[in-house]
């Protein structure tokens, strides 16, 4: 009885194995294996200065600086309003005025945040272009501007968080 069940299973298993024999690659020598060994690899393409990329990076760095300047200009007013509202209950006039000044402060830094996002996108696009062989170099200058913008945005975040922590939360 056991043999009756086992025989069809073995036949099915063997028929499945037989079909895979034709799918293996050939073991014949490939043309690349006939190439001479020991030749020097092609030298990498030197990075060319890309003036268009540099212009774009400079524009975004300037945008980040403008956002930082606008933030720094709006910060004293927001800080004064938040200090005046410290200890105030939620929805009081002082608390609402402080929240409004925080919103103004957040919108003042929009250029910095936008520039950082654009630099991130530019970095990824450039890295992809380099990987595809369409461009060479340039990621270092983008990364330098990106790190500067990131430091600005992080500092702004810390300052806003410090102000928000003084206010009562709803």
pLDDT tens, position by position, 102-143: 999 999 999 999 999 999 999 999 999 999 989 988 999 999
Establish if 60 belongs to a structural domain: yes
pTM: 0.69
| DSSP code at position 87 | T
Domain range for 127 is 51-166
Q: How far apart are CA 52 and CA 49, in angstroms?
A: 9
Structural domain includes residue 119:
yes
Instruction: Look at residue 31 and tell me if it is in a domain.
Output: no
Residue 83 within a domain: yes
Q: What is the pLDDT of residues 40-75, one digit of tens each?
A: 444 444 445 689 999 999 999 999 999 999 999 999
Query: Is residue 111 assigned to a domain?
Result: yes
User: Half-sphere exposure of residue 161, counting CA atoms within 13 Å on the CB side?
Assistant: 6
Is residue 142 within 8 Å of residue 109, measured between CB atoms?
Answer: no
The domain total for the chain is 1
Structural domain includes residue 23: no
Domain membership flag for residue 68: yes
Instruction: Give 134-166 pLDDT, tens digit per residue.
Output: 998 899 999 999 999 999 999 999 999 999 999
Is 115 contained in some domain? yes
């Amino acid at each position: 009885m056991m043999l009756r069940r086992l025989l069809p299973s073995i036949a099915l298993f063997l028929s499945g194995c037989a079909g895979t024999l034709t799918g293996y690659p050939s073991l014949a020598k490939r043309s690349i294996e006939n190439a001479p060994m020991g030749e020097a690899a092609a030298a990498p393409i030197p990075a060319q200065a890309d003036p268009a990329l540099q212009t774009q990076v400079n524009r975004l760095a300037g945008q980040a600086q403008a956002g930082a300047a606008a933030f720094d200009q709006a910060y004293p007013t927001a800080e004064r309003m938040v200090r005046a509202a410290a200890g105030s209950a939620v929805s009081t006039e002082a608390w609402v005025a402080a929240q409004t000044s925080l919103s103004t402060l957040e919108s003042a830094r929009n250029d910095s945040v936008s520039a950082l996002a654009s630099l991130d996108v530019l970095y990824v696009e450039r890295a992809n272009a380099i990987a595809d062989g369409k461009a060479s170099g340039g990621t270092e200058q983008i990364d330098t501007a990106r790190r500067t913008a990131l430091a600005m945005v992080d500092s702004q975040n810390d300052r806003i968080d410090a102000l928000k922590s003084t206010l009562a939360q709803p």
